[in-house]
Structure 1
Amino acid sequence: MFEVVLLILLLVLFAVGRGTGNRIDRLEKEVAKLSEQLQLLRQSPDAVQASSIQSATGEDVAAIPTPGEAAGSQQPEETTPALAAIDGPQVIADGDAVPAAETAGTEALAAAVPAPAAPAKESLESYLGARWAVWAGGLALALGGLFLVRYSIESGLLGPGVRLVLASLFGLALMGAGEAIRRKAMPGIAALYSNAMIPGILTAAGALSLFGAIYAAHGIYGFIGAAAAFTLLALVAFATLGLSLMHGQALAGLGLAGSMVTPLLVSSTSPSPWTLFGFLTLSLVATAAASRLRGWRIVPSLANLGLGGWAFVYVAAASPAELMPVTLALLAMLATSAFIWPAKAFEIIPQAEQPSPGAFLRVLARPPLGMAMTLSFATLLPAIAMLVATLGSDINPFYVMAALTAALAGIGAGRHSMVWPALFAAVGAILGTALQVQIAESLLAMLGNSMDDAVAIPGIAVNVMPVSLGLGAFFVLAGLFFLQRKGNRDPLLATIWAGIMATAPLVIAAISYFGYGDYGRDWAYGLYGIALATALLVSAEMQVRGGRRESLTLAIDLLVAGSFLALAFGLKALTSGLTLTLLLAAAGFAYVLATRLRDWRALPWMMVAASLAVLARIAWEPTIAGPLSLGKTPVFNALLPGYGIPALLAILSAYLLRNWPGVRVRNALQALASLMGLLTVAILVRHAMNGGVLTESVPTLGEQSIYTLLLTGLSGVLMTLDLKSPSPVFRYGSMIVGCIAALNVLFLHLGVLNPYFSGESTGSWPFFNLLLIGYLLPAAAYAGLAYYARDKRPQPYVIMLAVTGSVLAFAWATLSVRRFWQGEFISDWKGFLQGETYSYSVVWLAIGVGLLALGSRFDAKSIRLASAALVLISVAKAFLIDMSHLEGVLRALSFIGLGFVLIGIGLFYQKILSNSRKTEQASHAATPGVGPDPT
């Protein structure tokens, strides 16, 4: 197998060697041509004026350095203006001036030298000959060295010491050969084949040989101790990293990998985390410094992941772990990112954009994305792991988590390009605090909830509370720092920071409160919430006064919203029950009053949020004050202020903001005010109807009737408000409420709560009884609402109201007939009497005739249609029920009466239609040129 592999490699090298030689010849000719052009540029000004440049430009060329002047600077970075015109544009610092003659000469030379042609697409020959051959050759060298060592071992030709010395010399020889080729044999090729440079491949192969030799000397043969092996491996890694400045980023990655693997290759009886993380930190700093010089992004990202991975593995594996060296190493990584690389390299002022999903996605994609993401992960994963995997360590892991997330947030606040560290810091702080609370609860449960035993454990120390609150305050300060210094130039990132300021401190405080707070009254958390609300409002005011209102409109909205939420949190920590409900509504109303001083668009929405919070409190505890503190006095009990005052404040807010430019917030407040007013009256009715006790029992028909009347009245009130102050909330709300009331009638009045099905007592009085409240009064309310809405709402809606009122009136008359014959209880199990059955026909026909007369009087088609429906029902009853159930004279009277009524109705309609036709003909005759309608 060994011979086959070598044969294949030799054939491959021979096949591509010819193409590689030709390619090198062409490159050498190109380098010679470029050298001649550079020599021309170094001529004296007189020679340049005599050349063809003057004939091409017609201007004198000045300020071109002579060969003696050029010899004074040997650094390739110091380029003369003439060379700069060829190499590309230069960035001129503020305040620097360029002489006019020098500029003219530069322009002349730039015009004289032909522009380089666009690079042609690389051919297959180039890939195979100039790139693949180099990679394969480097691999062949590495395999050759390994195979040679294997052969010497199997044959016993050389001892271990000699083999290691030869391997080391082989590695050094490869590295020396790479440097020699870079300096002499291949100048100018690096720009063409930067990822397949022969010197870099040789240097990498040599570094691998040295790594292998040192590891074998320590780990296999034991020739050198742990300290010497560690030092030698570190030196090789750093040397490789240093050589990468000349050979490219790939070699830097190899040196970084060597430094990260070095601790694994060296075994020690007394490992020290200080030594481990000190070495890893030094490797990271060196990598960052090299990356800064060459503008690399991949290698520093890998360095972050390497250090973060080591920290994570150490924290998870060590028991107990020393957190101080890990913490210092991670802080050093953050400091390296802030001050060495990338530092301020990507601080480009972004283009101003309006807030939109696409704009925010572009902010999240800002370079250096890889370094920002890896820095965040490498910081947060070990920090979170410390909370889980360490107990009884040298320092409190929660303190470490807070310090690391604060440092990460500081980097995010100081750079335009570090949006991900800011976001990850906020998320990490929230997750870390939540995890800390969960761990504390678990440990307390194990200790029997004994705080005396728990305070000795760092994981649940009582001073975690001020640290979490301080961490939240740091996010506010960091966000304010960014808003003040960079907000006007970067409004999108400023908006993200405003969102962090509004959410992260509040969520951290809330989690900490539920884990460590006093649910009765906690002054620390309460005052913190109020202070946080004040700080956010002050921050919003500072943006407005700083002239950043137009660019930071959304950021100001977020700050205002965060201030209200923080205030609500503070009120929750200080109060409860009825007091909390009233203070929430008052806080929202205070923001409404603030619109008199500031026209910020978020202020009215805080009243919407307050109203929703009150409704949530009602849903959680309908009694507001608790069942024991409610009181049984009708109306004047805790429900009146608990429901009434927030409803009144919502109504006042809707009135004060009637001219506010925001239509949506006006509509929302109007809807909430209407709903809360209805809830206030409804809950007071239910309290009074149930003996001063709020239960979950199904309401009676009388109670439900009051709710139906309330809905009907609310529909009329909203309709009136819409006429005086047109609003879609009033317009559609009135119709929605009317439809809800109609559904109540259909399913409750006529179904579930109907005394015919429920068996509920209708009362002992003949007229003033349950049927009056449950059917006749709602019928009158619907009739009045239909009459009031006939010119103000769509015709189908008006017909629906009229039909609902007619159905209720019909139900009242029918059930009243049954009560007349059956008494107080009218349940279905009692059956029907013959007199009762006949009475239904009489009553239904009488109602039908009455509705017909009423519909004709008011020219209401809906009422006439209801009359026709009742008459049809009466006819159907007579033929289907009376014919089979009635006997004797009652059957005859039923049909005789029905016949007279139907004939009378027909005569009535004939007269109406005849008069209508005569009137129509008279109107057509009075109008010249208009004849009667042929239909």
Structure 2
Amino acid sequence: MDDTFLLLAALALLSLTLTGPAGLLLALRQRHRIQGLERRLALVEARPVAGESAAAARAAAPPDPSPESLPAEALSPPPAPPPPKAPHGAVPAVAPEPLAPSAAPSAGPALPPSLEERFGTRWTVWVGGLALAFGAALLVRYSAERGLFGPGMRIACGFGLAFGLAALGEALRRRLRGADPVPPRWPDIPAMVTAAGTVGLFGTVYAAHALYDLVGPTLAFAGLAATGLAAMVAALLHGPALAGIGLVGALATPLLVGGGGTSLWPLALYLPVVAGSAYAFAWARGWRALAVAGGLGAAAWSLLLAVLPGESLAVQAHLVLQQALAVAVFAVLPGRGVADAEARLDRFAGLVLAVTAGVALAVLAATAVDGKGLSFAATAFAAVALPALAGFVAAPAALGLPVAALTLAGILVIWPEGPEILHAPPPFLWFGTDDPGAMLALAAASALTVAGLGTLRLLGGSRLLYATALAFAGGAATAPLAALALAKLRLAGGAVAPDFAAAAGVLAAGFCGLAALCRREGERTPSPALALGLGTFASAAVASLCLGLVFALSGGSLTPALAGAALATGLIARRLDIPALRWCVAGLAVLVAARLAWDPALIQEQLSPRPILNGLVTAYGVPALCFGLAARVIRMPGRAPGRFGDVPEQVAQALSLLLSALFVFLEIRHALHGGDLTDPGTGVLEQGLVTLTSLGFSLVLTRLSGPSASPVIRFGGLAFACLALLQGALGLALQANPLLTDERVAGGPILNDAVLAYALPAAAAFALARAAREVRPAWFVRMAGLLGLALSFLALCLAVRHGFQGERLGLERETGQAEWYAYSAAWLGFGLLALGYGILRRSATARLVSAALVGLATLKVFLLDLSGLEGPLRALSFLGLGACLIGIGLVYQRLVFAPGPTARPAGPEA
């Protein structure tokens, strides 16, 4: 009884809350209207009649002094009759001429609303509307929790409250229709009240079905559809405020009222009706923001339903309905009827298609375990077909075909796996499925659908713009290729697959047929779109053949196939003069680069121990050559001197350079480790050869650098030089230094691993410093020279130690006096060689290096040899040092800093 009293009190309080502000608002509106009428009446009464003002002006004018002139009254037209007397209470009629400018208020800059205006005209209305909507829903929830009334009575009260609010809003709208319009920044109060009623009506219908099972799904669907239609009609009368609040309330109603069980079918039917209603009146009135809000709400509910427990079929049906509505509203309807010659790509439509495809992939991934079978395959096919159909129906939505191709690739990746997940080499972590037939059927049907729609659009739209035709051609070509490659990886992994190789051959034949069809149609009606289709399908045929070759001969990676397709695409682009295909070469290069970033090991099987001619040639060497040739082929003809290549050419150059370096590095490791690339050890010879290779690449790129060299060549040379510097400092000087590791150094006293590992990179560094003088900055030249000097010094020291110690050169081994003396002699000899080179080449840097070496030898003799050597070696050390220093001083005096000839005075003898 107490709860019933509280409920009745709450209803009474709600009635007073509604009627009080409404009455006050009506009184204020009538007052404003009366004041407006009074101002208009006063303005009319103060205005003189046109005839009377003219007569008064003629009377006040002086008479005409000319005797022949007639009176002014004779020349003027007869005065107009006075206006009829207006009835009592009516606004008198006035002349149609405008008011004087002085009577109009001056139009100044609009002042921002004050805090009081914001509070009184905006916040109170918005908060009040939301309070009405939430209060109605919470009141229903309270009655359900307390057990007040029965289900029928609760639903009846809900309908009464909803219809009452809607009627009050309509009454307020009609009552205020003749009043002064409110400023646009103020919210519409009748629309807010009607929106609250709309929210209550949505919630009541939904509660009648989901909570109390008073109506079945069919009747509930009809009621929700009728409510959506009523909201649309009311929004057309009340403006977008009602539409926005009604949409938010309709989407939030299931969360506020609560669910009626584990079944998701009511929501799967309810939410598309809400979104469809929002799309309908948003399209009718041009409220794009409302349509976007409806689409975002539908996407959020799709993702939420995917994680809720319940039937996967209901979630997938909801996904298909929502995706179809969004595709129709955002992609098909805006581009319908647009001529092919004017069909520019609609980026917003493409973004919407991509977002819907991403939501579809997320929902399919969440329902993949429970959604095996026909429902999952049908939903997946719809996710691919809907964006493709949008592009086919409306040319501005041509981006739907590439989106469909990417969606198909994503579906094949997330396809439900088998009971035993088989691990495969990257880029995929597993493969295998328990229903390969269904997956192959979906891949084939989806790929043929996308390819067929794109081809038909190209053949039937010879006047398509270039970018639009490129979207159609790209989607039609990439969908079958992606389907074939991913299906093979999912079903066969990295094994040899003759059946997939045969399928690749059939696909190549199909692409050849499409290319021939585009060529034949292009001969009848030449157009850039058909030429683009010819080049794209020809490139796709070559890519299919490359895929088949990889499937049949090795189960390795797709890198050789992609590289061959890139080279063939570049040749076709050059032969048929299709610049857009150059970007396809860049796209293939980006795919290979992503594959390298995922796992640089492009080959997984055991390599042959044969040097050079092994699997590394096909995995790295052939792709490097293909991309290098592709970069040369796609070079833009007629390029101005001094200008480097554009983005596609630079991307192909960069990948060719990277693959070439990896090929050489891995061949070195393969040769030194007996074909085992996974051997964790590394030796001094390997470190030295890697440093030598890096310096060699930098030297070649430096010689190729010039005014017209691309940034890839210029920055590539810098990158390889920095790599060589790090390799020399960390690898040769620290990690693999035989003095620190005591590693066995094979070879004789003169030619051994240490000499090869240090002397050859040192010579390459000196050559790089010499070649970089004209094209590189000064710091680069100094860095290369210092690297060569450091490696030469280490090579000299290791050669001396190897001559005395043999194959083991560790510092912990005892150093004899003869070896100790040999270091001084070697350093002095090296210094003299540097001095001779500096004099011959006039290089101050070489002379400074000589001075440093001689100074180092001098310090060694005075600080170490004096105490470490005994007998004749100590004397010979000082004698040799003194002779060398005197000789160096003489050379400097006579050759380096020799004074110039003194001019003799002129005389008779001269």
Q: TM-score interval w.r.t. the shorter chain?
A: 0.5 to 0.7
Q: How far did 1:888 drift? A: 3.5
Q: In the alignment, does 2:813 pair up with 1:848?
A: no
Unaligned runs of 5+ in 1: 34-108, 151-157, 446-452, 927-935
Question: For the structure 1 residues 542 and 823, does the alpha-carbon distance in structure 2 shift closer, same or farther, using more than 3 Å as the test?
Answer: same
Answer yes or no: is the 8 Å Cα contact 1:540–1:560 preserved in 2. no
- Cα-to-partner distance string for 1:242-277 (whole Å, 9 max, x where unaligned): 973884467889999899989x999999x997x998
Q: Which amino acid aligns with 2:876?
A: L
Contact 1:721 1:730 in 2 (8 A): yes
Q: Is the 8 A contact 1:237 1:258 kept in 2?
A: no
Q: 1:544 to 1:838 in 2, by over 3 A?
A: farther
Change (3 A) 1:742 1:577: same
1:890 partner amino acid: L
TM-aligned CA distance change 1:288 to 1:687, over 3 Å: closer
Worse-matched range after superposition: 283-292 or 806-815: 283-292
Contact residue 340 and residue 461 of structure 2 kept, 8 A: no
Shift of the alpha carbon at 1:909?
1.8
Mapped to 2, the partners of 1:893 and 1:415 lie a distance apart of: 95
Distance 2:746 2:203 in 1: 103
1:834 and 2:817 matched: yes
RMSD: 7.0
SS of equivalent residue, structure 1 residue 902: helix
Structure 1 residue 420: Cα displacement? 10
Matched, 1:878 2:861: yes
Between 719-728 and 867-876, report the one with greater CA deviation: 719-728
- Partner of 1:598 in structure 2? 576
The secondary structure found in structure 1 opposite 2:575 is: coil
**Counterpart of 2:679 in 1: which secondary structure?**
coil
1:526-541 superposed matches below 5 A: 526=504, 530=508
Verify: 1:22 aligned to 2:31, yes or no. yes
Equivalent of residue 440 in structure 1, options 417, 420, 423:
417
Q: What amino acid is the match of 1:876?
A: L
Displacement after TM superposition at 1:515 (Å): 3.6
CA contact (8 A) 2:130 2:196 kept: yes
AA partner of residue 589 (structure 1): L
| Residue 465, structure 1, aligned to residue 440, structure 2 | yes
Letter in 2 for 1:828: L
Cα offset, 1:597, TM superposition: 0.7
Q: 2-side partners of 1:225 and 1:743: how far apart?
A: 77
Query: Could you tell me how far apart the structure 2 residues matched to 1:650 and 1:656 are?
Result: 10
Residue number in structure 2 paired with 1:153? none
Q: Deviation string for 1:48-68 (max 9, x for gaps)? A: xxxxxxxxxxxxxxxxxxxxx
In 1: Cα distance, 2:198 partner to 2:551 partner:
63
* 1:855-874 superposed matches below 5 A: 855-874=838-857
Checking the alignment, whether the CA contact within 8 Å between 2:391 and 2:401 is kept in structure 1 is yes
Alignment of 1:445-456 (within 5 A): none
Offset, 1:418: 6.6
Q: CA offsets per residue over residues 824-849 of structure 1, 9 Å max, x none?
A: 54433332222332333334334433
Corresponding residue to 1:630 among 608, 619, 622: 608
Deviation per CA, 1:93-133: give whole Å up to 9, x if none: xxxxxxxxxxxxxxxx9999999999999999999899999
**Number of equivalences:** 808
Q: Structure 2 vs 1, CA of residues 749 and 13 (structure 1 numbering), >3 Å: closer, same or farther?
A: closer
What residue number does 2:894 align with? 911
Superposed CA offset, 1:657-686 (max 9, x none): 677546145555556556655655665555
CA deviation after TM superposition for structure 1 residue 761, in Å: 4.7
- What are the Cα deviations for residues 196-230 of structure 1, in whole angstroms up to 9, with x where unaligned? 999989988999999999999999999x9879996
Check the 8 A contact 1:502/1:559 in 2, yes or no: yes
Check the 8 A contact 1:331/1:404 in 2, yes or no.
no
Shift of 1:751: 4.4
Sort the Cα spacing of 1:829 and 1:316 in 2 relative to 1 into closer, same or farther, 3 A: closer
Distance 1:140 1:586 in 2: 67
User: What does residue range 314-393 of structure 1 map to in structure 2 within 5 Å?
Assistant: 327=317, 334=324, 338=328, 343=333, 387=368, 390=371
Seen in structure 2, the aligned counterparts of structure 1 residues 586 and 887 have a Cα distance that, compared at 3 Å, is: same
Write out per-residue CA displacement over residues 684-712 of structure 1, whole angstroms, 9 at most, x where no aligned residue: 55544455655525444445544555555
Change (3 A) 1:906 1:494: same
Structure 2 distance, partners of 1:212, 1:792, is 76
Residues 1:881 and 1:512: Cα distance change in structure 2 (over 3 Å) = same
Change (3 A) 1:32 1:412: farther
Aligned 8 A contact 2:543 2:564 in 1: no
Does the 8 Å CA contact 1:803/1:862 hold for their aligned counterparts?
no
| Aligned equivalents of 1:434, 1:526: Cα separation in 2 | 19
Aligned to 2:437, the other structure's residue is in SS state: coil
Aligned partners of 2:309 and 2:770: how far apart in 1? 83
Cα distance in structure 1, aligned partners of 2:161 and 2:707: 97
- Relative distance call for 1:113 and 1:636 in structure 2 (3 A) is same
- TM-score under structure 1 normalisation? 0.62
| Distance of 2:181 and 2:336 partners within structure 1 | 24
Question: 1:918 is matched by which residue type in structure 2?
Answer: G
Classify the secondary structure of the residue corresponding to 2:815: coil
Rounded to whole Å, the distance in 1 between the matches of 2:653 and 2:330 is 57
Distance in structure 2 (CA, Å) of the matches to 1:461 and 1:163: 53
Identify if the C-alpha distance between structure 1 residues 260 and 421 changes in structure 2 by more than 3 Å, giving closer, same or farther: farther
1:407 pairs, out of 386, 409, 417, with: 386
1:261-340 pair list within 5 angstroms: 327=317, 334=324, 338=328
- Cα distance change, pair 485–872 in 1 and its aligned pair in 2 (3 A): same
C-alpha spacing 1:350/1:406, structure 2 compared with 1 (3 Å) = closer
Q: 2:55 corresponds to which residue?
A: none
Deviation digits for residues 495-554 of structure 1, max 9, x if unmatched? 77777667776666655544445643124764587579779989999999988869999x
Percent identity, please: 26
With over 3 angstroms needed to count, the CA separation of the structure-2 counterparts of 1:113 and 1:515, relative to structure 1, is farther
Q: Is the 8 A contact 1:640 1:680 kept in 2?
A: yes
TM-fit CA distance, 1:766: 4.3
Does 1:696 find its partner at 2:654?
Answer: no
Distance 1:914 1:363 in 2: 78
2: CA distance between counterparts of 1:880 and 1:9? 104
CA 1:329–1:833: 2 relative to 1, 3 Å: closer
Worse-matched range after superposition: 698-707 or 24-33: 24-33
**Structure 2 length-normalised TM:** 0.64
Instruction: Return the offset for 1:905.
Output: 2.1
Distance 2:244 2:824 in 1: 100
